[in-house]
């Protein structure tokens, strides 16, 4: 009789242990699911607050409607900034706008040190503008070692002293970091080692920012 009761107690402990194990697995699953749900929401809210705070500082108070309205409209500065950028782009494509930009370009290039910085930034902006309009600017390269792959943006084919010294056709590739694609590395790869992808600039950016969690189903 005592042995029978002992076996029952052992069985109850085993059942209790099994239920505790199942419950711990469910709690762990719920915990990681909560992280997966909350991290994108948190990052989006943080980025939105950052953009709103930054745009409110960039936009002068004299033309910021939130300084005159009885209540603040969150994100209004961002909308105004985007409209302003679009307006500048529209003006810069006109005949007078191009002439004005040529004068600014000429003046900046004449300033010591600042001229070199201005030229570099201008060329980089132009490169990314061209890259954004071409699906073939997204590339796959082996970095930081062989058989380890990274997505990058081919900015242009390298010409000049570097190509002459190496004696090879090199492609300038910007390999961004994750999840902040605004920083990264400028690397020069032999043309035959660069694989061009069918992804667009926007699709590649999403892939990098999401740490590879977005799908890339293009052939």
* Mean per-residue pLDDT, 109-116: 74
Rounded to an integer, what is the distance from CA 91 to the centroid of its chain?
28
How much is the pLDDT for 192?
93
pLDDT of the residue at 6: 56
Mean pLDDT of the chain: 77
Going by the DSSP 8-state scheme, the letter that residue 195 receives in this structure is E
The CATH number of domain 135-209, selected from 3.30.43, 2.30.30, 2.60.40, 1.25.40? 2.30.30
Which pTM does this prediction carry? 0.50
Task: Give yes or no for a contact between 182 and 176, defined as CB atoms under 8 angstroms apart.
Answer: yes
For the cut 60, the answer to whether the pLDDT of residue 134 exceeds it is: no
Residue-wise burial string across 67-89, b where 16 or more C-beta atoms lie within 10 A, e elsewhere: eeeeeeeeebbbebbeeeeeeee
Q: Categorize the per-residue pLDDT at 135 as very low, low, confident or very high, splitting at 50, 70 and 90.
A: very low
- Tokens 């977005």 locate to 214
- On whether the CB atoms of residues 139 and 157 are closer than 8 A, the answer is no
């Amino acid at each position: 009789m005592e042995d029978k009761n002992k076996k029952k107690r052992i069985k109850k402990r085993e059942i209790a242990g099994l239920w505790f194990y199942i419950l711990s697995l469910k709690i762990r699953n719920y915990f990681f699911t909560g992280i997966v749900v909350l991290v994108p929401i948190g990052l989006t809210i943080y980025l939105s607050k950052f953009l709103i705070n930054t745009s409110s500082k960039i936009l002068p108070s004299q033309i910021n409607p939130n300084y005159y309205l009885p209540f603040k409209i969150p994100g209004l500065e961002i909308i105004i900034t985007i409209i302003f950028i679009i307006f500048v782009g529209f003006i810069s494509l006109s005949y007078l706008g191009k002439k004005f930009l040529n004068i600014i370009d000429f003046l900046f290039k004449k300033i010591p040190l600042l001229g070199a910085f201005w030229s570099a930034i201008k060329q980089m902006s132009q490169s990314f503008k061209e890259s954004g309009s071409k699906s073939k600017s997204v590339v796959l390269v082996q970095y930081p070692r062989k058989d380890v792959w990274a997505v990058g943006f081919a900015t242009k084919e390298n010409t000049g002293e570097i190509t002459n010294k190496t004696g090879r056709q090199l492609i300038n590739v910007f390999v961004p970091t994750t999840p902040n694609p605004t920083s990264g590395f400028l690397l020069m790869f032999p043309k035959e080692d660069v694989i061009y992808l069918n992804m667009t600039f926007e699709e590649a950016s999403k892939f990098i920012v999401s740490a590879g969690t977005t799908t890339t189903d293009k052939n």
